[in-house]
Amino acid sequence: MYFNFAVFHRHELSDRTRDNEEVFIMIEKKQFGPTGHLSTRTLFGAAALGSVTQDVADQTLEVLRKYGVNHIDVAASYGKGEAEKRLAPCLARHRKEFFLATKTGERTYDGAKRDLELSLERMGVDSVDLIQLHNLVPVDDWNTAMGSGGALEALLEARDEGLVKYIGVTGHGFTAPDMHLKSLDRFEFASVLLPYNWLLYQNIGYAASFDRLVAACRERGVAVQTIKSIARMPWPGERTRSCWYKPFEEQDDINAAVSWALGNPDVFLNTVGDVNVLPRVLEAAANPLTRPTDAEMSALAERTEMELIFDGEKTVSHK
């Protein structure tokens, strides 16, 4: 499917060129937590580069630059390190243009230290702006990472050495908001990352936990990054996109889902994990609608047979 990306890219941006000159479309910016960096509210989720060629990766990063996206979010585990490698040529030329964040899923001091060393090597950089403890949700993992000899100690050491500037935490699933609150009570993380879309927010428990987390982050000056904004449902069969959930495909549907998420002024939105769908998400972010109402989103969910993508408590209240 990746071979069609260049054609799609030229088609999508054909109305954004004039006399062979590029027209840059700027996405709104917001200060990213305590970093002082004005990040575009739509961040590039570089998981999309985990299984593409270098040529496609280079094209993708040029699309980002045309939309003014200035924040990259990758992880050591994406494509078993391939996503970080795909960033290297662009970073060699344009490192100063991007706030660069990566993640480690390791829980011990030694594992996290080695993970970060490999990440820096793969991307060809001396440091990153943000290193995140990846999916720090399982309690046993949390206890290990945050305890003596844990991953957090390695990241603090790396910060002291100038290898990273800030430290964040990410999570998936229904318990992510509460676990992030627990993490913030233990350490002053610069950012959190967790799922957020309209249907998930209709879950009574998740919505309450999410709101508590956002309120705490607002008070403490912590950046809130969101993922899965255009998740439609779990894959019903063979995957035809590289993201692990089935995304919305139609531009109008993506416009609604993205505009709903960005309608929350406290959050950033991480893009989709598929390079072919990415331009549609960027288009929606560059031209956000008035936030759709619950009635409009409910109609979208019913028409597209939207489903929750996580296992867990399914109690839903359409507010």
The per-residue pLDDT for range 278-289, each reduced to its tens digit, is: 999 999 999 999
> The whole model's pTM is what?
0.91
Statement: residue 32 has pLDDT above 70: yes
Q: With bands split at pLDDT 50, 70 and 90, how would you rate the model's confidence at 305?
A: very high
pLDDT at 25: 72
Over residues 241-251, mean pLDDT = 95
pLDDT at 19: 40
Statement: residue 16 has pLDDT above 70: no
For residues 79 and 16, the model is more confident at 79
Question: 109-116, long-range: CB within 8 Å, 24+ apart, which pairs?
Answer: 109/149, 109/150, 109/151, 109/153, 109/154, 110/154, 111/151, 111/154, 112/145, 112/150, 112/151, 112/152, 112/154, 112/155, 113/154, 113/157, 113/158, 115/76, 116/76, 116/154, 116/155, 116/158, 116/163, 116/164
List, for residues 134-148, the tens digit of each pLDDT value.
999 999 999 999 999
Domains of the chain, earliest start first: 2-303 (3.20.20.100)
Distance (Å, whole) CA 50 – CA 172: 19
